Amino acid sequence: MGGKNNMKKSIYIAFFLLTTVAYGQANDPIDVDATGDREIEPAYRIALSPRIVDTTINTAIVNYPLLSLRYETSSEVERINPASIKTIEKLPKLYSSYVKLGVGTELMPLGEIYFNSKRSRKYIYGAHLKHLSSYGNISGYAPAQFDRTKFNLFGGINEKRYDLRGDIHYNNQGLHYYGISDTLGLLKDSIAQRYSDFGISGRYASHIKDSASVNYFVGLAYNNYLSKKPERKEDIDWRARENYFGITSGAWYKHGKETYAADFNIRYNGYKYGIEDSSFTGLDSGLVLNNTVINLKPSITSFLQDNRFKAKVGLDLTFDVHTKTKVYVYPMAEVKYSMFNDIFIPYVGIRGGLNQTTFKSLTNENEFLLPNIELRNEKTPIDFYGGIKGTLSKRISFNAGISFANVRDMALFVTDTLHSLGNKFDVIYDTLNVTTIEASIAYQMGEKLKLEGIGRYYSYSALNNSYAWNKPRMQFVIRGSYSLFEKVLFNVDVNLEEGRKALVYGEGENVTIESGQYIKNLGFLADANIGIEYRYNKRISAFVQMNNVASQGYMRWYNAPVQRFQFLGGVTFRF
């Protein structure tokens, strides 16, 4: 309140002075002349020195500290295990020799020897010898003994600009046509068969890294295949004899994102049984067949989008010089694309080709054939296929696909009743439309665990036959191996087949008639094999192998059942 009163007084005084001044200035000036005395005070000296008087008023310093705003934060560092690096002072020791010896039920001896070269940048060589035989029989059937001996010798040279390979093999297989009742009392020699197989091959391939150069390969092969000798020397011509000679070659050239390639092959196969236009027993007619197949396969392959997209187009120009000379042109095209870093790879394509049918290829599939059979090359004018494959993880891979093919002169095995007692097979040929659906999945955890499953479904539509004889409609294959502490190894192999039919020539159990043909259902095929190996150390191990553990006497071919449960055990050595 005191402050407000002082302010009012100051306003009044200022207003009064201004009024007085204004009034004085409004009148005319007056001059007055007069005399008088005016006293002047005596002067005196100021004793103080002058100084500067600072009228600045120091204000108090006010501190405004920063507000304490602290947010609580937390950080967590994930622990990373240190990388383990295994320092290897020296590579694991290799052994050049491996021996496997064993014996099984039905007096089944087994012997196997491997010999390989050790580590070498330049040279590779080795040999392999294996023998397996059985002296057992199958209840109710003629003698069923067999023996198999295989020998292989190989070698090669590796250089920066080329490699060279060579191979020599000899296989000897003895068997009996046991698919007949033992009540007939047939002697073993009368139903015995033996196949002798000798071959030699070599291949040269260049590896020139210069992109402006053309790489190529050339291969040569010769094979001699014989059936059993007749008992009499003068009948030596009456045995199946086959000589094969082949030249394979190819070249390829890379230019930018394209690869230009071409294959050129010549394959000759000469098959002879007996003397042409003559007869041995009135039923065995002499047969001579010479077949030459020449084919040229040019193609172009393109890689795009960092090699994720691949396209291949070409054709197969084939000359079939048989009883007549025919020329075929088969398509060859495929497209595939890698998605998500090879997780999914869809593919689609069309193909075709000619497979040269030989006596050796047929007996490798069915060893119970007659020695005199007609040979026709199998031709596939068109085969359309597609599917998807890939990897679900670093351990799981898969493949699923479907194909539609037209196959001409497909070989089908049927029971022979004209030249034998029904214990041998002949070959007939037919044209079929074949649909195949296949899916597979594989799992692998290093060398510890490996699993694979394959499923296939076949649909056959034959031109002249009710079914594709002895071929399955459905097939499942399961394979796996497991290593326990690298000490005990387990392996399993399971094969399941369903839908096989056989052509027979009369009524019987489980025989039906369709289109005038007698058809017998061969039933379900279930074959499971289990193996166990115990490694005493790196050089010595023991093993057991159990075959057909379900003891199923299923028919592999009509009137040709397999042996039931078999047990095989032995030891292995490395040195």
The CA distances from residue 354 to 363, 380, 469, in Å, are: 19, 6, 21
Q: How does pLDDT run across 254-272, given as a tens digit for each residue?
A: 988 899 999 999 999 999 9
Spatial distance between the Cα atoms of 303 and 334, rounded to a whole number of angstroms: 12
Query: CB neighbours of 29 closer than 8 A, spacing ≥ 6?
Result: none
Tally the C-alpha atoms within 13 A of residue 439's C-alpha that lie toward its C-beta. 2
Burial label for 408, CB within 10 Å (0-12, 13-18, 19+), is middle
Q: How does pLDDT run across 44-53, given as a tens digit for each residue?
A: 454 545 554 4
* Residue 55: per-residue pLDDT: 47
b/e map of 488-511 (b: 16 or more CB within 10 Å)?
ebebeebbbbebbbbbbeeeeeee
* Residue 102: per-residue pLDDT: 93
Average pLDDT value for the chain: 85
pLDDT, mean of residues 174-200: 90
Take residue 47 and report the two structure tokens written for it.
């004793």
Backbone angles phi, psi at 233, to 5 degrees: -65, -35
Q: What is the DSSP letter of 305?
A: T
Distance of CA 11 to the CA centre of its chain: 110
* Residue 8: per-residue pLDDT: 52
Whether 145 has a pLDDT exceeding 80, the answer reads yes
| Number of residues that this document lists for the chain | 575
Tally the C-alpha atoms within 13 A of residue 317's C-alpha that lie toward its C-beta. 8
Quickly list DSSP for 328-364.
EEEEEEEEEE-BTTTTEEEEEEEEEEEE---HHHHHH
Query: Residue 438's beta-bridge partner residues?
Result: 401, 456
Whether 433 has a pLDDT exceeding 90, the answer reads yes
Query: CB neighbours of 218 closer than 8 A, spacing ≥ 6?
Result: 203, 204, 247, 248, 249
Distance of CA 191 to the CA centre of its chain: 41
* Residue 279: per-residue pLDDT: 73
Query: Residue 413's beta-bridge partner residues?
Result: 427
Backbone angles phi, psi at 234, to 5 degrees: -70, -15
Burial label for 62, CB within 10 Å (0-12, 13-18, 19+), is exposed
Spatial distance between the Cα atoms of 68 and 119, rounded to a whole number of angstroms: 73
Q: How does pLDDT run across 322-348, given as a tens digit for each residue?
A: 888 999 999 999 999 999 888 899 999
Quickly list DSSP for 403-459.
EEEEEEEEEEEEEE-SSSSSSEEEEEEEEEEEEEEEEEEEEEETTTEEEEEEEEEEE
Residue whose C-alpha is closest to residue 199's, from 221, 229, 220, 218: 221
pTM above 0.75, yes or no: yes
pLDDT, mean of residues 146-166: 94
Q: What angle do CA 207, 209, 215 make, to 5 degrees?
A: 45
Q: How does pLDDT run across 351-398, given as a tens digit for each residue?
A: 999 999 999 999 999 999 998 899 999 999 999 999 999 998 889 999
b/e map of 236-253 (b: 16 or more CB within 10 Å)?
eebbbbbebebebbbeee
* pLDDT classification of 106: cutoffs 50, 70, 90: confident
Name the residue with higher pLDDT: 548 or 18: 548
Q: How does pLDDT run across 520-529, given as a tens digit for each residue?
A: 998 889 999 9
Residue whose C-alpha is closest to residue 565's, from 135, 106, 100: 106
Max Cα–Cα distance, the chain, nearest Å: 192
Spatial distance between the Cα atoms of 82 and 17, rounded to a whole number of angstroms: 97
Name the residue with higher pLDDT: 184 or 350: 350
* Residue 9: per-residue pLDDT: 52
Whether 34 has a pLDDT exceeding 70, the answer reads no
* Residue 22: per-residue pLDDT: 42
Residue whose C-alpha is closest to residue 357's, from 317, 403, 322, 319: 322
The answer to whether 322 and 308 have CB atoms below 8 angstroms apart is no
* pLDDT classification of 67: cutoffs 50, 70, 90: very low
Q: What is the DSSP letter of 183?
A: G
The answer to whether 480 and 450 have CB atoms below 8 angstroms apart is yes
* Residue 559: per-residue pLDDT: 86
Name the residue with higher pLDDT: 55 or 203: 203
Whether 59 has a pLDDT exceeding 60, the answer reads no
Take residue 437 and report the two structure tokens written for it.
């659906």
The answer to whether 167 and 202 have CB atoms below 8 angstroms apart is yes
* pLDDT classification of 555: cutoffs 50, 70, 90: confident
* pLDDT classification of 213: cutoffs 50, 70, 90: confident
Query: CB neighbours of 343 closer than 8 A, spacing ≥ 6?
Result: 390, 391, 392
Enclosing H/E stretch for 153:
strand 146-158
* Residue 420: per-residue pLDDT: 82
Q: How does pLDDT run across 485-523, given as a tens digit for each residue?
A: 889 999 999 999 999 999 988 887 778 888 888 899 988
The answer to whether 454 and 438 have CB atoms below 8 angstroms apart is yes
Take residue 510 and report the two structure tokens written for it.
């489980």
